[in-house]
Amino acid sequence: MNISGQFRPVAPPTNNGDTTRVDVLLAQGLALVEDLTLKLQKLDSLMLAGKPNEISEAAASVEVALNEAAPAFADIAEAMGQLGASDLAAAAAQLRHIEQTDAAGLAEALRGALTRFAKRSVNASRRAQQLNRGLSAALRSLQALGVQEAGRLIAEA
């Protein structure tokens, strides 16, 4: 794949502060994705085990972590925009072009971690949908048998 034209020419930073900022942002993003992946794995495992209280807590933990990570990913997107890159692969190429190989490696690592997280997220979402369908079917069956949602028997003549 030819990536020419995907980014604008950027001169190498004259001071090390700009490069360090990109390095720090990418390292922070990588750490956040790894943390999110661990939380998502825990949630997925709990869904397999069928522990409703723990599932709820783990799901809330993932949601909070995603919300807390949003500003860091906005900063990464802004840094990519400053590089003139449309995605992490283009950012890595641009960073290599300006001889920032450490930052380019971090961009590629972040891209890989995000790809793995996305796959896990899709799998966990499917599992949650299956769990939800199963619980809904069980509730409908209980209601059809004359049991209210609260678990009490409906008096029948």
Cα 7 to Cα 97: distance, rounded to the nearest angstrom: 11
Cα 89 to Cα 7: distance, rounded to the nearest angstrom: 11
Mean pLDDT of 12-40: 78
Q: How sure is the predictor about 136, in pLDDT bands with cuts at 50, 70 and 90?
A: confident
Would you state the pLDDT for residue 83?
Answer: 86
Would you state the pLDDT for residue 109?
Answer: 94
Helix residue ranges, H only, the chain: 16-49, 52-83, 88-97, 101-144
Length of the chain equals 157
Would you state the pLDDT for residue 143?
Answer: 73
So where are the chain's domains? 17-144
Q: Are 65 and 142 in contact (CB under 8 A)?
A: no
Q: Are 41 and 58 in contact (CB under 8 A)?
A: no
Q: How sure is the predictor about 147, in pLDDT bands with cuts at 50, 70 and 90?
A: low
Would you state the pLDDT for residue 128?
Answer: 85
Would you state the pLDDT for residue 108?
Answer: 94
